[in-house]
Amino acid sequence: MIAPSILSADFARLADEAAAVAGEPGAGADWLHVDVMDAHFVPNLTLGLPVVESLLRATAIPLDCHLMIEDPDRWAPGYAEAGAHNVTVHAEAAADPVMLAKNLRAAGARAGLSIKPDTPLEPWVQVLRHYDTLLVMSVEPGFGGQSFRPEVLDKVRTARRLVDTGHLTVLVEIDGGINTDTVEAAAEAGVDCFVAGSAVYGADDPARAVAALRDQVRA
């Protein structure tokens, strides 16, 4: 699966930018990745629930909301209630990640748990049984256009092994520095869903950039 990140899109034209990656049925973006930042959990500020609500009305692509915010226990369920398909919170920020996952699912969304590049996977394995997605950050969260950190692939391999042996049922997602040079290594390590911001929206033709990533994964 390919999830273009609108962090690198033109925020004044979000409906058009979503349409630009929709592509032909079955060929375009699987999810649209929406980076919510609060200037506290990360040193950057982007958008919040009102923009997500507008985007939900503007596109049929399922929204993958990545909440880089403090106190996700309080704020994340609102994104699920609004209709986001997948709502991902940070393990480093959640006070009660099990209860939070239950609340997200009860509100009708998939629940995602994200870990930063330096956060180990092991302490979260038991908690992940309550989640549908594991988002492994391959850059420090906060900004698009950073370089991929290959050392995080060890965590992806571990997660893949746990999924394949039936110890976990999560979809493994990677976020940060994914482009046609790095996507193959991530795919080999066992990633199911690839987030790409600058590689898609920095390209002249975003739909072609999505197709190019998909081709690389399948190669």
177 in a labelled binding site: yes
Told to judge if 215 belongs to the known catalytic residues of this protein, a careful annotator would answer no
Report the C-alpha gap between 65 and 35 in whole angstroms.
6
- 61: tokens are 């692509």
Angle at 186 between CA 35 and CA 68, to 5 degrees: 20
Name which position in 144, 152, 155, 187 contacts ligand DX5 (CB under 6 A): 144
Among the residues of the chain, which ranges form H helices? 14-19, 49-58, 72-82, 97-106, 153-164, 183-189, 198-201, 206-218
Number of residues that bind Zn ion (CB under 5 A): 3
Told to judge if 118 belongs to the known catalytic residues of this protein, a careful annotator would answer no
- Using CA atoms, how far residue 131 sits from 42, 55, 104, 182, in Å, is 23, 24, 9, 26
Name which position in 72, 177, 203, 212 contacts ligand DX5 (CB under 6 A): 177
Nearest residue to Zn ion, scored by beta-carbon proximity:
66
Residue 82 binds which entry of ligand DX5, Zn ion, none, CB below 5-8 Å type-dependent: none
Name which position in 17, 35, 38, 192 contacts Zn ion (CB under 5 A): 35
Where on the chain is the footprint of ligand DX5 (CB under 6 A)? 5, 7-8, 33, 35, 66, 139, 141-142, 144-146, 175-178, 195-199
Where on the chain is the footprint of Zn ion (CB under 5 A)? 35, 66, 175
